[in-house]
Chains A and B, each alone.
Chain A
Amino acid sequence: MAVAEKKDEIREALLQGKIVVIKASQSVVRDRRGGKKIHVITINKGGV
């Protein structure tokens, strides 16, 4: 599961006060501060 496999990456982002978004699509999710408040993890086709 991506959440488990990426837990270190997720923890680091959370400790920086960022929201973590995990998705697999090409849609664009972003904040208004050049990424200072969001960390996006994109799941590749077929898994993490």
Chain B
Amino acid sequence: MPGLLKIPELYLPLIKKFNMQFWHDTMAMIIPPKFQEMISYEPPKGRAYLIFAITFGRPRRYDPSTGTVGDVISTVDVGIWHASKWMKWHWDPLVESIYEIVYPQHVLVRHGEPYWMEIYNKTEDLFVYMDATIWLYEFEEKYFGEVEEYFDCLYERVAGCKRGG
């Protein structure tokens, strides 16, 4: 089982200042074989998310004829490539070292500036069921720039220089 999920302490001033609300977006996916597509994830208009973790459920075989889930799988043939503003494009195959952890994130998304994922299933005949939970704080999009500025200012306080400098 994944370890404990922790709210980053550096977020606490933001939560108060911008009236952020905690919640988690849990979804299940069923991925057909021979699948590859870019999928975007974003809040509705006027909202923004500060994402601080993702947890994945154990992926399982799915039988479309009966609608039932089966054995847990571990494979590099199914998974996700993903990226965001502060996250490099990288590979998350459905293996235990990925889905058995709390996956830390530090991602800001808003409507029109989504979280991109390329989901793939390179198998010939395996339907895969998996769930994922995105842990986040939601806030009004009008504060998006100020939230970014908060992190920039933190950086300047710690590093003593402008971001990128």
Interface residues of A, Cβ cutoff 8 Å to B = 2-4, 6-8, 10-11, 14-15, 17-33, 37-38
The CA of A19 and the CA of B80, in the complex, are separated in Å by 13
Stretch at the interface among B22-30, B82-90, B93-101, B149-157: B22-30
Assess whether A17 is in contact with B43, with CB atoms less than 8 Å apart: no
Assess whether B44 is in contact with A30, with CB atoms less than 8 Å apart: no
Q: Quick one: given A21-B28, A22-B28, are A37 and B37 in contact (CB under 8 Å)?
A: yes
B contact face: mostly helix, strand, loop, or mixed? strand
Shortest C-beta distance, A17 to chain B (Å), equals: 6
Q: Which residue of A lies closest to B38 (CB)?
A: A32
The CA of A48 and the CA of B27, in the complex, are separated in Å by 14
Identify the 9 closest CB pairs spanning chains A and B, nearest first. Answer: A7-B67, A23-B27, A37-B37, A20-B30, A11-B64, A22-B28, A14-B32, A25-B25, A26-B44
Assess whether A14 is in contact with B42, with CB atoms less than 8 Å apart: no
Shortest C-beta distance, B46 to chain A (Å), equals: 11
**B102 partner residues in chain A, CB cutoff 8 A:** none
Assess whether A28 is in contact with B43, with CB atoms less than 8 Å apart: yes
Interface residues of B, Cβ cutoff 8 Å to A = 25-32, 34-35, 37-44, 49, 64-69, 111, 114, 119, 127, 129
Assess whether A27 is in contact with B28, with CB atoms less than 8 Å apart: no
Q: Which residue of A lies closest to B45 (CB)?
A: A28
The CA of A22 and the CA of B42, in the complex, are separated in Å by 15
**A2 partner residues in chain B, CB cutoff 8 A:** 28
Given contacts A28-B40, A28-B41, A28-B111, 20 further A-B contacts (CB under 8 A): A2-B28, A3-B129, A6-B67, A7-B64, A10-B67, A11-B67, A15-B32, A15-B64, A17-B35, A19-B39, A19-B119, A22-B30, A27-B43, A27-B44, A30-B40, A31-B38, A31-B40, A37-B35, A38-B37, A38-B39
**B31 partner residues in chain A, CB cutoff 8 A:** 19
**A4 partner residues in chain B, CB cutoff 8 A:** 67-68
Most buried by B among A4, A27, A29, A31: A27
